[in-house]
Chain A
Amino acid sequence: GAVVSQHPSRVICKSGTSVKIECRSLDFQATTMFWYRQFPKQSLMLMATSNEGSKATYEQGVEKDKFLINHASLTLSTLTVTSAHPEDSSFYICSAPGGGVDEQFFGPGTRLTVL
């Protein structure tokens, strides 16, 4: 199946700093990518839809100025958590619809810990 990578896999940062997470589709192009957040022992919650060449679409309750999304190319979307705080500590996962099929393929996730 299609492969989606994320970098970094784990990041620990101090409160107030910004953290950038990359999501790449390795063997297919994705005009749309999705960013999810997963708190411990909870399911995935959609944060935003990343659209190549246009603005991201954010779900209700997600601050667009705090979670900046840039979909600069057909294989790369980035999520920047600005001025991170401890409550932003979570597991962030991206996904993309695999080229030509209806499945969603997920990255391995990024564990963010804000001290």
Chain B
Amino acid sequence: KQEVTQIPAALSVPEGENLVLNCSFTDSAIYNLQWFRQDPGKGLTSLLLIQSSQREQTSGRLNASLDKSSGRSTLYIAASQPGDSATYLCAVSVGSAGNMLTFGGGTRLMVKP
């Protein structure tokens, strides 16, 4: 059974810092990995999708890497801003497109002005 773990569970940093969120998964036979952002009481916003054949994806200040063989992914946020405060979730998809996702517990990020 696939298990996804995110470390740290919570993180508080001053504005402007670069930071790294970690995600690990137990079964390396994944189809893809997605990083999401969730604001309190809201749904999920997809940030980055990495296919199993890819090693990284970038969008603006965000960079996600994937090391499938070791079962790890990192989300790098450059020059953090208070608006980045949210919970960040990683999820892996096993099998063909359309299969359900297994989520990590999330990292609650607070960026202080």
Interface string of B73-113 (1 = CB under 8 A from A): 00000000000000001010100011011111110000000
B43 sits at the interface (CB 8 A)? yes
Interface size class of A (residues with CB under 8 A): 20 to 34
Contact A111 B100 (CB under 8 A): no
- Greatest chain B CB density within 10 A among A31, A91, A103, A107 is at A103
Contact A44 B89 (CB under 8 A): yes
- How many angstroms between the C-alpha atoms of A108 and B91 in the bound complex? 17
Contact A43 B104 (CB under 8 A): yes
Interface string of B26-53 (1 = CB under 8 A from A): 0000011010100001111110010100
Instruction: Compute the total of residue contacts between A and B using a CB distance below 8 Å.
Output: 57
Contact B46 A97 (CB under 8 A): no
Q: How many Å from the CB of B104 to the closest CB on chain A?
A: 6
Contact B43 A107 (CB under 8 A): yes
Residues of A within 8 A of B44 (CB): 44, 93, 95, 106
- How many angstroms between the C-alpha atoms of A103 and B36 in the bound complex? 11
Residues of A within 8 A of B43 (CB): 6, 93, 106-109
- How many angstroms between the C-alpha atoms of A103 and B93 in the bound complex? 10
A105 sits at the interface (CB 8 A)? yes
Q: How many Å from the CB of B25 to the closest CB on chain A?
A: 13
Q: How many Å from the CB of A43 to the closest CB on chain B?
A: 5
Residues of A within 8 A of B41 (CB): 91, 109, 111
Contact A97 B89 (CB under 8 A): no
Question: Which residues on A are within 8 Å of B, measured CB to CB?
Answer: 1, 6, 31-32, 34, 42-46, 49, 91, 93, 95, 97, 101-109, 111
- A-B residue pairs, 3 tightest by C-beta: A108-B43, A106-B44, A97-B98
